[in-house]
Each structure stands twice: as structure tokens, then as C-alpha cells.
């Protein structure tokens, strides 16, 4: 495991904390903490304040230039983030600029504590209406980004350590964090966010505006009955619910749908901050908690769009011969026989092969085969797209390309798969499409000064 060390200067003051805990095997575990969420002051233009996750449009310089021109000199989260397209080997100057802006916004009361600790977020995206999320703070002690994690909060894909470095540097001297992290939970009865949405007229409205760059519409409502909401989350960890839903008693509540590197940076930052803290201070320090948007995996706005493959400059005969070896699997005695059909677009037509695994395992096996084949074929190139028609058209007109469709799967199986196998197959699913990703808006204080 790569260990990164940083000098940290932090001042500590007493803080009133409220812990919400559950019991797991007789042990009390804190998952969600009621902690104030900071918002821009009422005089700030919200459509200029909010910008999309910096991890998006990382190859689209024009997009970020349009964002910069639009926000102009207005207070904006654009001045508080380091978009990946602007990230470089030496980010010291950019990070200092971010830290200075954050401090200035705080001192000039552009960022305010408005007495909010949980927010119902309603987002109309370009493709879905009323995607519902809940802004809350989770305990980083209950998160681990490694594949063999048994924590209550887990990742669904690997973390690349190099991507954590600049995010850690931004956090080192920052007072606040902006968040684009989306956590997924499995509430099949729609008891949490949906019931809040149905009663939103009784909740104070915090913001309501159109997002820039065609991102849709965003509104937020202050949740007053936080304890009741948290209790509903806790019920998703009941042993019987876990057994009935995931065929397992292993406790799991959240999967990281978006922002896994940002949450990993939160975790590593906390690991360094807590080294010299007393147990009492560790329990209350705000850096121990991360601000996230929790979205039900069954929300229609969470699509798990398949990322299909177009493989160019490939020896088709050799590739297909190796791929068909995946069909050779001998079931053990008593093992349930499960098969999945994989579509391949090749030689201007469509071929189907029958894989002796379920949808997710089949997808993983195919991706592993593609990765191993790529290591030996230096001229082979892979393009990824969520547009299956693009795959079909390309492979119809190019006899040297092969297209692979990601197999559709049941979202009900995601948690069960992660519990059993670890990460989802690499480069195969988008939880949300780029223009549907979270916009930065709310903030969380991570440093006491």
C-alpha cells in the first residue's frame, strides 16, 4: 500500500457533537453524524455558484472555458476545486489559489452556517426527473477503499493512488470541503427519500434554480426529522434485511457510486490528521466525517449505463478463439447452472456466445480477457462508449474492429456481488452519465480554527 506523508497544521476547539449509532454484533458503530452543512449566502447567484464535478469533461477544454466565462467574477465553487483537466504535475500555485479563495469566502460570509445538518436534494438531470438524494455526513472510520474491505461503506471500483495526491494536497490546509461524492444504498421499499419527497411542502426550501451548462435543475429542502431518517438507514443494516436482500449477514450500507478518489482522499487525510489526537478529540474532529449525497440505487436516475467496447487493430480470428475459451466451464456437482449470452459485433454482423456465469461475472471475465489480450497486442486500441449504436455502426463498416456490448444486469444484484466478489468489473459501468453527475453546492467544515 502506498503511504503519502504530509505536514499538517490544525487548531482544535471544542465542538458539540451528536453521534448516531447502531449495534452490530453488540458493538456500537457510528455511521452518520449530524454536523452542520454550510451553504452559500442567500445573495449568491446559485447558478454561478454550482459547477459540475471536476472529474467530468476531463478532455473537453472548451466545456471548462465556457464554465469559467459564465461564472466570471461571481462567487463560485469553480474557484474552490481543481478540475482534472487543469491538474498537472505541480499544482502548488493552483492549490494555494483554492485555499485563499476558501478562506476569503469564509471571512466575507459568502459561505455560511445556516443551521442545516441534512438536505433532501431533488435533481432534474437532462435525462431523468426528480432524482432524489440526501446530503449527510458519514464516518470515515466505517469506510475502506480496498477490495477486501468488510466495512459498512465500500467502493465498487479500484482506487488509483496517483489520483489521490492532488486531492490530499487541496485538503491539507483547507477549512472546508466541497463534495461531489455519491453513495448508493439499497432501499427497495422506497421508505427514505421518497417519503421525504412526498412531504417536501412541509420542509423549508433552501435553494431552487437551474444548473449551468445544461445540467438541469436543482432544489434542496432542509430535513428537520434527522433522527427518524437515520433510523430508517439503520434498518437497512438489520440482520434479517441483509439476509433477505443480499443473501448475506455481512453488514453493508453504502457503495461509492461516484467520487471514489475524493472519498479515498478524505480517508487518507483523516488517517494523517488523527495520528496525534487524543481519543476524545478523534471522536469529534470534523475531518473524521465526509459530506456525501446518498441516493437509492433503485432511483430511476441511477442507471448503471453500460460502457461498451470498440476494439481496433485486432487479430479477429485470434481474439475470438481466445474469447470462446470462456465458454469452457465445468460446473461442480450441486452447483447451479447459470448462463449469460454475450453479444459480439464482428465482420459486419453479430455473434452470440453463451458464457457459463451470471451477468456480472460474465462481464468481469470478458473484461479480464480483453485486458490480458491487450497486454500482448501493442497495436490494439480500445474505445469505450455508452452508445451501443455507435459500436454497431463502427463494426459494420470496419472489418478490423470488434464490438462488445456490456451485458444488461439487475441492479438488485450489485450489493450482493460486491459482498461476494469485491469490485465490479473494470471499465464496464457508468453510475451516472457525465452531464448527470453531481454539481458542487454544499460544503462541510473539516478544520477547526
d(CA 312, CA 428): 18
For residue 10, being part of any structural domain is answered with no
Task: Kindly report the pTM of this predicted structure.
Answer: 0.90
Q: For the chain, what is the mean pLDDT?
A: 90
Q: Kindly state whether residues 23 and 125 are assigned to the same domain.
A: yes
For residue 171, being part of any structural domain is answered with yes
For residue 344, being part of any structural domain is answered with yes
For residue 4, being part of any structural domain is answered with no
- pLDDT-derived band at 310 (thresholds 50, 70, 90) equals very high
Q: Kindly state whether residues 355 and 235 are assigned to the same domain.
A: no
Q: For residue 137, give the nearest of 38, 235, 209, 218 by alpha carbon.
A: 38
- pLDDT-derived band at 216 (thresholds 50, 70, 90) equals very high
- Residue 394 belongs to a domain with what CATH number? 3.30.70
What would the pLDDT profile of 17-30 be if each residue is shown by its tens digit?
444 455 554 344 56
Q: Are the CB atoms for 171 and 286 separated by under 8 Å?
A: no
Q: Which residues of 41-69 are buried (b: 16+ CB within 10 A; e: fewer)?
A: eeebebbbbbbbbbbbbeeeeebbeebee
Domain that holds residue 383: 305-408
User: Where does 25-96 show beta strands of DSSP type E?
Assistant: 27-34, 37-40, 51-52
Structural domain count, the chain: 2
Q: Kindly state whether residues 158 and 97 are assigned to the same domain.
A: yes
Q: Are the CB atoms for 132 and 295 separated by under 8 Å?
A: yes
- Residue pointed to by grid coordinates 447459470: 338
Residue 437, classed as helix, strand or coil, is coil
- pLDDT-derived band at 6 (thresholds 50, 70, 90) equals very low
Across the range 232-245, mean pLDDT stands at: 94
Q: Kindly state whether residues 185 and 79 are assigned to the same domain.
A: yes
Look at residue 230 in the predicted model and tell me its pLDDT. 94
Q: For residue 404, give the nearest of 363, 447, 358, 449 by alpha carbon.
A: 363
Helix (H) or strand (E) holding 218: strand 216-222
Amino acid at each position: 500500500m502506498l503511504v503519502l506523508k504530509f505536514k499538517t497544521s490544525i487548531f482544535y476547539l471544542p465542538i458539540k457533537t451528536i453521534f448516531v449509532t447502531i449495534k452490530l454484533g453488540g458493538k456500537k458503530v457510528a455511521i452518520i453524524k449530524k454536523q452542520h452543512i454550510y451553504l452559500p449566502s442567500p445573495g449568491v447567484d446559485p447558478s454561478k455558484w454550482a459547477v459540475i464535478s471536476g472529474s467530468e469533461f476531463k478532455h473537453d477544454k472548451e466545456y471548462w472555458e465556457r464554465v469559467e466565462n459564465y461564472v466570471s467574477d461571481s462567487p463560485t465553487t469553480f474557484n474552490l476545486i481543481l478540475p482534472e483537466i487543469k491538474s498537472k504535475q505541480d499544482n502548488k500555485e493552483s492549490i494555494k489559489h483554492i485555499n485563499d479563495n476558501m478562506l476569503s469566502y469564509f471571512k466575507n460570509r459568502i459561505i455560511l452556517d445556516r443551521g442545516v445538518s441534512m438536505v433532501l436534494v431533488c435533481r432534474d438531470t437532462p435525462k431523468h426527473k426528480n432524482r432524489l438524494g440526501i446530503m449527510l455526513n458519514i464516518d470515515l472510520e466505517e469506510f475502506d477503499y480496498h477490495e477486501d474491505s468488510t466495512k459498512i461503506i465500500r467502493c465498487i471500483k479500484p482506487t488509483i493512488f496517483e489520483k489521490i495526491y492532488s486531492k490530499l494536497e487541496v485538503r491539507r490546509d483547507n477549512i472546508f470541503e466541497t463534495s461531489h461524492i455519491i453513495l448508493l444504498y439499497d432501499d427497495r421499499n422506497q421508505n427514505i427519500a421518497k417519503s421525504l419527497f412526498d412531504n417536501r411542502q412541509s420542509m423549508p426550501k433552501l435553494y431552487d434554480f437551474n444548473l449551468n451548462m445544461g445540467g438541469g435543475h436543482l432544489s434542496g429542502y432542509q430535513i428537520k426529522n434527522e433522527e427518524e431518517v437515520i433510523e430508517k438507514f439503520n434498518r437497512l443494516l438489520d440482520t434479517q434485511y441483509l439476509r433477505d436482500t443480499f443473501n448475506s449477514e455481512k453488514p453493508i450500507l453504502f457503495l461509492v457510486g461516484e467520487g471514489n478518489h475524493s472519498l479515498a482522499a478524505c480517508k487518507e487525510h483523516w488517517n494523517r490528521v488523527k495520528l496525534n489526537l487524543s481519543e476524545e478529540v478523534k471522536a469529534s474532529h470534523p475531518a473524521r466525517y465526509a459530506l456525501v449525497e446518498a441516493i437509492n440505487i433503485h432511483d430511476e436516475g441511477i442507471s448503471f449505463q453500460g460502457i461498451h467496447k470498440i476494439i481496433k487493430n485486432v487479430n479477429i480470428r485470434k481474439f475470438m478463439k481466445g474469447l470462446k475459451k470462456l465458454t469452457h466451464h465445468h460446473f461442480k456437482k450441486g452447483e447451479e447452472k447459470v448462463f449469460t449470452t454475450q453479444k459480439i459485433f464482428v465482420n459486419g454482423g453479430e455473434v452470440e456466445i453463451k458464457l457459463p456465469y451470471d451477468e456480472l461475472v460474465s462481464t468481469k471475465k470478458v473484461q479480464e480477457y480483453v485486458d490480458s489480450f491487450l497486454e500482448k497486442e501493442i497495436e490494439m486500441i480500445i474505445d469505450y462508449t455508452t452508445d451501443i449504436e455507435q459500436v454497431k455502426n463502427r463494426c459494420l463498416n470496419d472489418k478490423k474492429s470488434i464490438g462488445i456490448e456490456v451485458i444488461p444486469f439487475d441492479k438488485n444484484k450489485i450489493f450482493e456481488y460486491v459482498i461476494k466478489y469485491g469490485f465490479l468489473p473494470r471499465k464496464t459501468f457508468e453510475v451516472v452519465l457525465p452531464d448527470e453527475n453531481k454539481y458542487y453546492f454544499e460544503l462541510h467544515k473539516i478544520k477547526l480554527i
